[in-house]
Amino acid sequence: MKHYSFAEKFRELYDQAVGSYAKGQRGAESFFSKEERAWLASNGLTPQHLYDYAEDMSTLGEPSYDQALGIELVRRDYFLNVQNGQASARVLDPATLPHKPEEAKGLPWLQRTIPKARAKLRGELPPNLMFSCPGDRAFFKANDIWPAEFLNLVWREPSDDAVVAWVVRRSGLK
């Protein structure tokens, strides 16, 4: 693993994934070589993460490389420094997430985004869930929050109430 060149290698793989998706290739496991998958795993990432970015970038025009890099830098930092480079064996059950329209302090989607962010930090999202999916991004845009900033917030704040209070302050709600 090369720490100094992480962003450069991530950029290479992000661009590769976007290009493969644009050419019609499908399936996260088909996008990368064995060595590339090993590099991703050594940094707490999966092929699915890049596949999701490639799919959304190709079909919706975002998330940009900068957004993806920001998110994955926070995940990588958590993986290396909190999880000591050890992947979690758990996977979030999507049925346990709050429903999409549920609100916290008048903010729709926030109740759902917090546990998704916590699962993203720990590397526990199932393949059918994406942190910073279109619904998450709409929430972030509406409340002027950069997705990586939110991910870092849920790392710093162990209490969901503290996360909600921060978002309420940021959004200007009373």
Question: At which residue do the structure tokens 């969901």 appear?
Answer: 160
Which pLDDT belongs to residue 121?
Answer: 97
Which pLDDT belongs to residue 99?
Answer: 86
**Among candidate residues 26, 13, 143, 21, the one with its CA nearest the CA of residue 65:** 13
Which pLDDT belongs to residue 2?
Answer: 76
How many CB atoms within 10 Å of residue 110? Answer: 22
CA distance 165 to 170: 9
Which pLDDT belongs to residue 1?
Answer: 56
Question: At which residue do the structure tokens 């979690």 appear?
Answer: 88
Q: Where are the domains of the chain?
A: 1-85, 88-174
Which pLDDT belongs to residue 39?
Answer: 95
pLDDT digits (tens, 9 = 90+) for 22-33: 999 999 989 999
Residues with pLDDT less than 50, the chain: none
The pTM (predicted TM-score) of the whole model is 0.93
Which pLDDT belongs to residue 100?
Answer: 82
Which pLDDT belongs to residue 104?
Answer: 79
Residue 102 DSSP one-character state? -
